[in-house]
Each structure stands twice: as structure tokens, then as C-alpha cells.
Structure 1
């Protein structure tokens, strides 16, 4: 499930890291794509407790998948990473890393500085609408127990294999669904969640509704006879 965790949980993570003498690496590529009841809280606000490395990416919030352009932000007010050479090691790595294409480099400044605010709000509204449609559509299918997404571009749903005939696990479900209905969902096994699936809703609403109807047809066609 992708849910917005209450801020206190992040503070507890920072406190645990501090006790263990560790830094925290926070992947916040989806940080600004939040539309649930809990607001997004950047991990960096707890930098006073433990040093934080925040990972960001342009591909999600600005909807440019494949650009592979991101950044690392150090939240280290106590200079712990500086003293132990972590900051220098990161800089050295970037000096020998692969440079993004010229086209990407040329566009980055304008994308970050000139994207209008309504682009962000429209993106959130579209994702919220699509997430609701996806959740409602999967709830109509007996073999699914979907969980409401509060952010990102996908939701998780548990598969009840007892409702299906001749399908034994999530891998078989996803393989046959792709073969028979040309709909691709990610098997939970790839994420360490057996008999779950991850369904992406970041598509046109018409395509999402078509995909849900195909999933529904597949499940009812392969349902066990009661």
C-alpha cells in the first residue's frame, strides 16, 4: 500500500537511526504527489535528530518518465556527514557519473523555475480522481481487496485466490491477464508481497476504465463456480 504515514512515524525513524549511529536515506520521488488526508512531510525536517539524505527525481512530479534526472539533498545541520567524509564521497561519485543528455540539461532550469502552479494542482486532482475510479472499480470484483491510495500513481490490491479457478498465485494471475486481456499489472511477488498486485492508475481515464472492465471480465471468466 502507498499511504501517507503520520509525521510522528518519521520522527521515530530518525530517533532510531540516531540511537544506532546511522544516517537515513529518504526516497521522496513521490513526495509531492500526495492527495490523501495526511500531508507530505519531508524527512529532512528531522535532520537535527539524525543526518538525512533525501533522494529526489524529476520524472514523477513533472511527469517526464525516462529522463532519469534526480538529486541528493543532505540535511546535516550537525555536520556529521561532513566530518565523516560522506559529503565528499557523494561529490566525488557525481564527478565520475554519467552526465544527462544535453536536451535534459537545457530543459531542467526552465522546468524547475517556470512550471506554473496550476500544473501541480491539476496533476494532483487528476491522480485523485483516477485513484478513486481505480479503487471503486476493483472493489466490484470479488477476488480483489483494494486499498485506497493516498499518493503516488498506483494502488495495491490483495488477491483472494479462492475465488479463482486454475490460477494459483499472483504471477499466474498477471501472466494470464496480460496474455488474455492485454492488461499489465505488477505481481506483488516482485515487491515481496505474495498474492497481491500493484495497479497503476496514471493513465487517461478512458484507458483506465477500459482496463478495469477487462480485469473484471477476466476475473469473472476465471471465477470458481459456486
Structure 2
């Protein structure tokens, strides 16, 4: 350096490069940057992320909006919140979730978070230790991998089986686990698969986890967003068999991802997480050093949960069901894409690419980059969720935009199909 100054001694954290590279946001940023480089005037169609709130047909209920306004105007929620959340909100969430459980949750079982991603950050940080490992689904939601990479928590992947409705390969779970395994994650309804687990399968997961001496982290951010033959059943139903940490939020069911209100709930009637393992106390301690959701949104939660009418939920489910039908049917018309399972929940479908039918396409990431550049359609490459040469497609968008996006994918295939 000039004038004999000492070399600068600071630099960014390299671990963030790894964490960001495997995040959905990181991959979508690359694809969206590619949109800027195209020379067509087509409107961009976002089939890569799970935020339908930008479309007029997917709007939250006025009851939720009124609850926010009432909370703000009350002037009772301008203060700091307790680290784990205000009591009325925790009580309302406990009552809301208890409707689907064979036992009653307490407000003390509930920890409020700044969205479900913050819940994941907390749980992974709580479990990270030099010797521990955690079992994650493949394909799965990569925020778990990102936070595990940043916290040096070892990850071991078990497969979901597409031919069986993306059920967990429980034999693989048993083979992967050892004395240092602390927990396994399930996402139900499934992101990225659109799957909904049956009672029998959830019970087998609980029994397998108990056999291995690990607990289950149940990511249920898409709870009740189901439209197939299987209804949503919370993993907490089996809390007497194995301790369950349930992660959830109002983001998806109420179509308000930007409100950033989530929760961690101990579904553990035997008190294992509280008494013997110290997990609950560790969550509480992490909340003391973590950001909490805005107090006025917490203040609105009782009104949102208690007053939202069933017809609002039915409308959203109907929209998702119709969109899933459109997506599944149109994708079957594209020869290079195989749909092994029609989605029954959440907002996504996983489809397999047959690269042998395509010219000058190297892999799923190359497919998505060229699709964005040529057709202004953004689809998430499967490698971002753990399955190379697959695609995750979001169908929870305006029906006309969905139809147009799928039509453009077919056009893209016709342009790149291998000539006979």
C-alpha cells in the first residue's frame, strides 16, 4: 500500500459465498440478471419463486389487512416485543395449531420468528456443534443447507422417491444416521415436490426417528394448502411417539410473505425437548440474540387467525388446484419434460429433463439460463434444490401468465429439440 501503510487486515466471510451459492435467491438472482441480457420485448414470467402475492388473483383477505390497521392504530404495539413474541400472539398460534392435534399446545410452546426462514436459521444454529449432523431431504428447500454450511453443521441427504409420491426413503434415513445425528427434516406439504404425506407415512417417519433417537423438524409453511386426495396432517400428531419441532408462518396460507411472521413450536407432550435435551432453552436463548417480527404484526395475529373465513382459504386452494391441473397437463405436451407426480399441495411441481432430446443444452442450469434469455421465463433449475437435470416450476401465478409461460417453454423446446 502507499506511504508504507499496513495491509488491510479485514475481509468478507468466505462461508457466505458457499451459503449464497446454494440458496434459491442466489440462483434466481443469476437467472434474473440473464433476463436483462435478452433482446426481446416479452414480459418476464416468474415460474421460479413461491410468491403469488404479486398477482391480482392471489390477494390476502381484507380481514388480515384490517387486523394490521387495527393493530397500528391501537398504539399498543409500537414497543419492542419480548424475544419469543408477545403473549396474545403466541396464545393465538397455540390455539390455531391445536385444532389439528390430539393434545393442547401452550403459549410456552410457541416462539415467534421473522418468517419461516428465520425459524430455519434459529434451529440450524441451535443444533450446530462440531460433531453433529442433520438429515435433510433431497430434493428439498436449500435454506437448510445454506445455514448448515454457514454454521459448519454436517448435512446428510436422504432421497424422496418420485414414483411413490415423493415419500421419504426411510431405509436411507436409517442407513445415514449414527450416534452424532440430531434430527431429520421433512417438508410437508412439499416444497419443491408438491407432495402431501399420508397419515401412515408420517407415522412411519415418527417411528423411524424414535428408533434412531432423533427428533423431527417439520417444515409446514404450506399447511392446509392441499387439493389432492391426501389432506394435510401435521407431524405434531405423532409428538407422543417422537419430539417434533414445527416450523410455520402466515406467509403462504394468507399470501403475505412480506409480512415476515413465522413460528417454531414444540409439539412434544412428553417434554423431551424441554426437560432432558435443552433444545427449547437453546431456542429461547437464540431468540435473545435474533431479530423478532414487527410487534404490530404480532398484535394483529389473534384477529387474523380467529376471524379469517373458510371461503378465503377455499378460494386460494381452488386457484392452486386449477393452476396445478393446467401446469401438469401442459407440461405433458413438452417431450423433453417428464412429470412423475401430479402435485397435491403447496405451489410447485418437480419435473425431469431429458437432455438427450435437446441440442446445445448442457444441463438444467444451462436450460434455465437460455430459457430466461430467449423467452423471458424464469424457472428454477433442479440443482438448486438438490436434483440435477430436474426443474422446479411454480404454478401459483395468474392463470393467463401460467399458460403463456408454459407455451413459451414448449416454443423453447421446439427451437432446441434434437433433429432426427
TM exceeds 0.5? yes
Report Cα offsets for 1:177-221 as digits up to 9, x if no partner: 011111000000111111110110111001101111111111111
- 1:157 aligns with 351
TM-score of the aligned structures, taking structure 1 as reference length: 0.95
- 1:88 aligns with 281
Distance 1:212 1:205 in 2: 11
Deviation at 1:108, TM superposition (A): 2.8
Q: Which has the higher contact order (CA 8 A, sep 6+)?
A: 2
Q: Please tell me whether residue 127 in structure 1 is matched to residue 334 in structure 2.
A: no
Q: 2:258 aligns with which of 66, 69, 72?
A: 66
Conserved? CA contact 2:195–2:345, under 8 Å: yes
- 1:54 aligns with 246
Report Cα offsets for 1:54-112 as digits up to 9, x if no partner: 11111111111232211111111111112122222222222332122345334333322
- 1:114 aligns with 307
Distance 2:316 2:222 in 1: 12
Distance 2:349 2:261 in 1: 25
SS of equivalent to 1:66: helix
- 1:45 aligns with 237
Q: 1:16 aligns with which of 208, 212, 220?
A: 208
Distance 1:86 1:102 in 2: 25
Distance 1:190 1:157 in 2: 13
TM-score of the aligned structures, taking structure 2 as reference length: 0.52
**How many residue pairs get matched?**
226
Report Cα offsets for 1:97-144 as digits up to 9, x if no partner: 212234533433332222111110111111000000011111111111
Q: 1:179 aligns with which of 373, 385, 403?
A: 373
Structure 1 vs Structure 2 CA RMSD = 1.4
- 1:189 aligns with 383
Extract unaligned runs of 5+ from structure 1.
none
SS of equivalent to 1:61: coil
SS of equivalent to 1:184: strand
- Structure of higher CA gyration radius: 2
Report Cα offsets for 1:2-30 as digits up to 9, x if no partner: 21122212111111221222111100011
Distance 1:106 1:181 in 2: 44
The runs of 4+ residues in structure 1 deviating greater than 4 Å are none
Extract unaligned runs of 5+ from structure 2.
1-192
Task: Tell me which moved more, 42-51 or 16-25.
Answer: 16-25
Distance 2:377 2:297 in 1: 31
